[in-house]
Amino acid sequence: MARLHSKRGAMHEINVVPYVDVMLVLLVIFMVTAPLVTPGVIDLPSVGKASQPRVAPLEVVIKEDRSLSVRERDAAGRIVSDKPVTRADFPRIFKDPKVPVLVAGDKNVRYEAVLQVMDDLRAQGVERVGLQVKPKQ
C-alpha cells in the first residue's frame, strides 16, 4: 500500500518581530531627540522705526460714461480730494513712480477702458498699479 502523506513543503515565513523591535527603538530615539534640536535663532538688529509710514494709493476712478477722476485718501482712508481728470493729465498727476495707484472701474465700464488707463499709467512709469474691487457682502 502506498502511503499517502501530505507534503506541506517548506513554507517560508518572515519573522517580523525583530523589524518591529527596531522600528520601536528608532521611534523612541526620534521622540527623545526631537525636543533637544533647537531651530536656528536669528538675532536681528533693532532700529527706532522699522517701517516707513504707509503711503495711501491714488485712485483712478472710471465712471460708467468713461469719464475719469483721481481720488486721494489720507492714512485713515478718508477721501481728501476727488478731481475730474483726462488721460492727458496723467503726466502732470503721476510724477512719482513709487506712489501706488488703484484703478477703480464701474462694473458697467468696458474692460478695454480699464486696460487703456492701466497702460497709460505704466507708460508714465508708475511701478505699482492694482485693481480696486468691492468685497462681497
Strand partners, 85: 68
Q: What is the DSSP letter of 51?
A: S
Among the listed residues 124, 135, 136, the one whose alpha carbon sits nearest the alpha carbon of residue 60:
124
Average pLDDT estimate for 122-133 = 86
Q: pLDDT tens across 9-57, in order?
A: 556 788 888 889 999 999 999 888 887 776 666 555 566 655 555 677 8
List CB contacts of 21: < 8 A, sequence separation 6 or more.
Answer: none
pLDDT at 49: 58
Q: Which residue has the cell 480730494?
A: 81
d(CA 22, CA 16): 10
Report all structural domains of the chain as residue ranges with CATH numbers, in order of start. Answer: 58-131 (3.30.420.270)
pLDDT at 23: 93
Q: pLDDT tens across 60-70, in order?
A: 988 888 889 89
List CB contacts of 63: < 8 A, sequence separation 6 or more.
Answer: 69, 106, 109
What's the chain's average pLDDT?
A: 80
pTM beyond 0.85, yes or no: no
